[in-house]
């Protein structure tokens, strides 16, 4: 098979994978431990909802508060939808934290249980329809965990202040009841979500499922805002609009940097993800065209990486990927950009780099990776892995292509040519015919 035919076959396979992706979204395709855990949580939720339907009478004021909370949640999501869509891309394998809790927790505090459930369901249906970055069953599971978390919070508050729930208790005992409700709400949701992530990613480090401390501070802040929202709805409902404007400003101004960083970063390696790398590549290419300066692109693929994954497990593979990413950072210049395109494939953008210098940079990177020794975790204990090599394709503007697409195709073809020639080597695309010898 020629290189061009192989590239076409590879792209066709990617399109076929994309076409079949919705099938893999089905819940019944998940591993049995995950499927059993999800179904158990949903069954318990169903039983809890059924048991609480008639506990508290629903009034007209309750319906009005529900509509206000649903509207506030919807406006909040629409205003931050673009940020949240990008954040979900970078949140695979770790807890995805957002500010929906300010609306759902407020509902837990002041709405009868059936309306609180309705609020949670409507919030997550709207979120899935507008953001839609996760399979439907995962959105359903998240909603069920929040319903159970809300039930735990309601039990905590009703236990400390019986006869007041649903409502906003006052005084020191009321404060203790609200804090207890918040802790119960957070703990149940956190444990269920972390458990699902651990079961879904058994080879990933457990700390990934636990998430970051900064994320838990965001959760705490959202619960605090939920308390404020509930208090305003009971005393000064019109002030909720002012609170919403404040939240939107904070969301955009204070949290946007963290959200954008998460959306631009590959979670396994800390490098730029594919979307961000291509965004910067387009900007740099436009600048190279405008100033008539050279631009280099390297495509790098680890050799026989599937064998390492299959032999030692995905956790060992992730550790190797992170070690390779660290070496790439050390080798490139400050203004170069390294990204992970997916799997074991990386891309390196080299602004203001002519063809000869791009080839030399690629060879330095190849030698550094070939000399890498990383300790990986295996079933038999730690193991020193020093057999990682890579194949690199180098292309430069304007020698190898006059558009960014041509440049990327040239680098991709050169990388596959390097594999055809025996791997662990650098091949430059047409325009720089010098092929560097391997050590």
Model confidence pLDDT, tens digit, residues 39-58:
898 899 999 888 877 777 78
Tokens representing 420 are 């055809």
pLDDT for residue 257: 58
Mean pLDDT across 409-431: 93
Residues 163-192 pLDDT 10s: 767 776 677 888 888 899 999 999 998 888
Residues 103 and 230 sit within 8 Å (Cβ to Cβ): no
pLDDT for residue 1: 40
Task: Name the class of domain 274-428.
Answer: alpha beta
* pTM as predicted: 0.56
DSSP state of 437: P
Residue 361 pLDDT > 80, yes or no? yes
pLDDT for residue 438: 41
Mean pLDDT across 408-419: 95
Neighbouring CB atoms inside 10 A of 330's CB total 9
- Which one has a higher pLDDT value, 86 or 65? 65
Mean pLDDT across 244-262: 65
- pLDDT above 90 covers a percentage of the chain that reads 36
Give the residue extent of every domain in the chain: 15-262, 274-428
Mean pLDDT across 70-80: 84
Residue 254 pLDDT > 60, yes or no? no
CA distances from 250 to 27, 155, 166, 212, 229 (A): 36, 32, 29, 20, 15
């Amino acid at each position: 098979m020629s290189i061009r035919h192989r590239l076409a076959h590879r792209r066709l396979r990617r399109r076929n994978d994309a076409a079949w992706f919705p099938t893999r979204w089905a819940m019944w395709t998940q591993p049995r431990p995950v499927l059993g855990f999800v179904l158990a949580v949903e069954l318990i939720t169903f039983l809890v909802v059924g048991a609480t339907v008639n506990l508290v009478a629903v009034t007209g004021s309750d319906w009005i508060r529900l509509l206000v909370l649903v509207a506030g949640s919807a406006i909040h999501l629409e205003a931050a939808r673009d940020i949240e869509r990008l954040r979900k891309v970078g949140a695979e394998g770790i807890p995805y934290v957002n500010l929906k809790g300010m609306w759902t927790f407020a509902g837990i505090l002041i709405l009868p249980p059936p309306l609180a459930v309705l609020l949670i369901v409507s919030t997550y249906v709207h979120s899935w329809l507008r953001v839609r970055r996760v399979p439907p069953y995962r959105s359903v599971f998240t909603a069920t965990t929040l319903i159970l978390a809300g039930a735990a919070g309601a039990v905590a508050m009703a236990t400390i202040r019986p006869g007041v729930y649903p409502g906003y208790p006052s005084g020191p005992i009321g404060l203790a009841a609200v804090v207890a409700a918040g802790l119960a709400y957070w703990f149940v949701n956190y444990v269920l979500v972390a458990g699902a992530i651990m079961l879904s990613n058994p080879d990933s480090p457990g700390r990934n499922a636990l998430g970051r401390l900064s994320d838990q501070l965001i959760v705490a802040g959202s619960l605090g805002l939920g308390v404020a929202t509930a208090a305003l709805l009971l005393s000064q409902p019109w002030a909720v609009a002012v609170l919403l404007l404040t939240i939107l400003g904070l969301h955009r101004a204070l949290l946007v940097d963290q959200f954008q960083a998460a959306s631009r970063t590959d979670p396994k390696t800390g490098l730029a993800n594919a979307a961000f790398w291509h965004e910067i590549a387009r900007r740099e290419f436009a600048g190279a065209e405008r100033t008539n300066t050279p631009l280099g692109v390297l495509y790098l693929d680890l050799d026989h990486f599937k064998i390492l994954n299959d032999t030692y497990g995905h956790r060992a593979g992730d550790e190797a990927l992170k070690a390779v990413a660290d070496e790439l950072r050390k080798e490139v210049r400050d203004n170069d950009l390294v990204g992970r395109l997916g799997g074991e494939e990386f891309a390196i953008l080299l602004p203001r780099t002519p063809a000869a210098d791009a080839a030399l940079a690629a060879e330095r990177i190849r030698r550094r990776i070939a000399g890498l020794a990383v300790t990986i975790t295996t079933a038999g204990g730690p193991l020193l892995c020093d057999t990682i090599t890579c194949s690199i394709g180098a292309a430069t503007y304007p020698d190898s292509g006059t558009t960014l697409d041509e440049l990327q195709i040239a680098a991709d073809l050169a990388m596959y040519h390097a594999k055809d020639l025996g791997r662990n080597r650098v091949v430059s695309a047409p325009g720089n015919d010098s092929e560097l010898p391997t050590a």
